[in-house]
Amino acid sequence: MDGVIGFLQDLGPNLQLVLDRMPLILDGLQVTLLTTVLGALLALVIAFVFGLAQLSKVMIVRGVARVFVEFFRGTSLVVQLFWLAFVLPQLPYPLGFRLEPLLVGVLALGLNYGAYAAEVVRGSIGSVPKGQFEAISALSLSPARGMFRVVIPQAWALMIPSLSNLWIQLLKGSAIVSTVLLYDIFFQVEQLRDRTGTWFAYSFALLAYYLIAWLIVILMNGLEIRAKHQIGRGPALRTAWRSLFQAPGTTPSGGRTARVVRDRSVAASGTPMGGGLA
Amino acid sequence: MPENTAHPGVPGVPHIEFRDVVKKFGDNTVLDDLNFTVTKGERVTLIGPSGSGKTTILRLVMTLEELTGGYIDIAGNPLQYEEQGGKRVRIPDKRRRRTTTDIGMVFQHFNLFPNMTVMENIIEAPVNVMGLKKAEAEAKAETLLDKVGMGWKKDARPSELSGGQQQRIAIARALAMDPEILLLDEVTSALDPELVGEVLAVLKDIAAETDISMLIVTHEMQFAREVSDRVMMFDKGSVIEEGLPDKIFSEPENQRTQDFLRAVL
């Protein structure tokens, strides 16, 4: 049944099989999307908490954050997942408890990728020009106020491309949650494989992950365009929707997408177009 | 514009006082045992070759740099360190910020917040540091923006403005905090030559209309001559000559001052 010939020969029946199993496959898709979205949200929270903690003036806070980040960055995702699923329930009372499989998956993905993202947050804040921090001091704004009103909004625009990368990696990493009894898309594909063979099943899986990754890319491109516009770099999202489908900041053959502005009144009303801080 | 905007200052009341100030960056001593005072309302310009420590002095007053030794007092209050029972004690950041609320600074590279509009840039500190109501702060900002000729751009973002416009807004932003001391750090050095005039004109107006004490670092010698009460010539971290601007610019006594002025004028 395998091989290219087999793949082509059985394409019709196999597609029929996919249709028959669609309810299960959609269930799997839902689990994958859920772990990917919840895992990413948890990772984002962890990233900001531990990214900012690493910049704290208090040495102990910095130290704890550092150890946390290095621990979850430096240990394997699979091991973390298995530890949460199989070791945690065996710990003596009151430490041990059994978590729902979904929670195990979200927690492992969130902790692991959150640790990577914490480094992105820390790095991006370090990339905000020194003059911005000096202006905060010169206006006697408190460091916390300056961080949330001035520094983070600028760092956000810088960190999105890296966060986007990490989110796609998290999506792909989510395929291992099937090992702790979460019936995600990969689990359903494995079921499908029994009937269709490896060629069809894994090709179907590639396509499914590719399409989800694409959704993430479009969403993150949108966020990046918006964030850059808010710090005065690049056009507004409503005038530059086309660049959702290409990496922001690249200039296609047609020139900057901002030139696509049809409605002159929008341009005249003071919408910044292209340019930058120069 | 007034012919001569020089302001006499109030004699005898020290507003900024440097006492035995030492500033080192690693092994490099930038300021060595520096003593000087700026009286209330006085405008003092610091001139000298680059690397002579002029900008460091401004940054110390703004607490952007930590003192290595000595003391700086602002209106009689210790700024970074104080003497307590013969010991030199660091003043906590919160208390430092209470003192720096009265000090404004304008930077060479403007340092406006790019994620905020012009109006938001100006009212951020008055609302959050001085506790002004938003409407009050906005009314005040509009007055200041009109003064610097930028009222028509209050909803623009910094990236849409020229360097000269950005710097005029940075000046308005500093003034919105009602500073008693204004530090001007090479405020025209990053501007295209044709934009220098508009910024200096605004500053001359402010010098003429207010009694804010000013500490100025500039390469615009004509401007320094017009607004300053006193000029201090720095070289290698110490004052080598000081006096009235006319005296320093017309008949400097020190050889190094003569050489420096010949090079820049």
Taking only the tens place, the pLDDT of each residue in A240-264 is: 777 777 766 654 444 444 433 333 3
Average pLDDT of the residues in A135-139 = 95
Contacts of B111 in chain A (CB under 8 A): 129, 131-132, 134-135, 138
State percent of chain B over pLDDT 90: 75
How many structural domains does chain B have? 1
Asked if the structure places residue A277 within a domain, the reply is: no
- In chain A, how many domains are there? 1
Classify residue B245: in a domain, yes or no. Answer: no
Whether B8 maps to a domain, the answer reads no
Q: Which of B149, B150, B127 has its CA nearest to residue B138?
A: B127
B176: number of Cβ within 10 Å: 25
Do A51 and A119 form a contact (C-beta atoms < 8 A)? Answer: yes
pLDDT by residue (tens digit) across B149-190? 999 999 999 999 999 999 999 999 999 999 999 999 999 998
Q: CA-CA distance, B37 to B33, in Å (whole number)?
A: 14
Q: Does residue A278 fall inside a structural domain?
A: no
Handedness of CA A183, A184, A189, A192 (dihedral sign): positive
On whether residue B80 sits in a domain, the answer given is: no
> What's the whole-number mean pLDDT along residues A38-54?
96
> Residue A75: is its pLDDT beyond 50?
yes
Asked whether residue B4 carries a pLDDT value surpassing 80, the answer given is: no
pLDDT of A174 strictly over 70: yes
Residue A105 has pLDDT above 60, yes or no: yes
Whether B131 has its CB under 8 Å from any CB of chain A: the answer is: no
* Single-letter amino acid code for the residue at B199: V
Question: Quick one: average pLDDT of B30-49?
Answer: 92
Does some domain include residue A197? yes
| Residue A66 resides in a domain | yes
Contact of B112 with chain A, judged by CB distance below 8 Å, is answered with yes
Q: Which domain holds residue A107?
A: 2-269
Pairwise CB contact (< 8 Å): A138 & B62? yes
CA dist., res. B135 & res. B116, Å (int): 17
Residue A85, pLDDT > 50, answer yes
Inside any domain, residue A275 = no
Selecting from B128, B160, B174 the residue whose C-beta is nearest the C-beta of A232 gives B160
Average pLDDT over residues A16-39: 92
Candidates B62, B64, B115; nearest CB to A154: B115
Cα separation, B229 vs B207, whole angstroms? 11
Note whether ipTM > 0.85 here: yes
Query: Can you give the pTM of this predicted structure?
Result: 0.85
Enumerate the residues of chain A whose CB falls inside 8 A of the CB of residue B64. Answer: 134, 137-138
pLDDT tens per residue across span B97-133? 999 999 999 999 999 999 999 999 999 999 999 999 9
Asked if the structure places residue B151 within a domain, the reply is yes
Average pLDDT, chain B: 90
What residues of B are in contact with residue A145 (Cβ under 8 Å)? 128
What's the confidence (pLDDT) of residue A177?
Answer: 87
Domain that holds residue B120: 108-178
| Chain A residues in contact with chain B using a Cβ-Cβ cutoff of 8 Å | 129, 131-132, 134-135, 137-143, 145, 149-150, 153-154, 230-233, 270, 272, 275-278
Lowest mean pLDDT of A84-98, A173-187, B117-131, name the range. Answer: A84-98
Could A276 and B159 be called an inter-chain contact, meaning their C-beta atoms sit closer than 8 Å?
yes
In a domain, A276, yes or no: no
The pLDDT > 90 percentage for chain A reads: 56
Whether A211 maps to a domain, the answer reads yes
Within a domain: B224: no
What average pLDDT score do residues A28-32 get? 93
pLDDT by residue (tens digit) across A112-131? 999 999 999 999 999 999 99
A208 is a domain residue: yes
Cβ neighbours of residue A126 under 8 Å, at least 6 residues apart?
Answer: none
Q: Which residues of B touch A278 (CB under 8 A)?
A: 159
CATH at A163: 1.10.3720.10
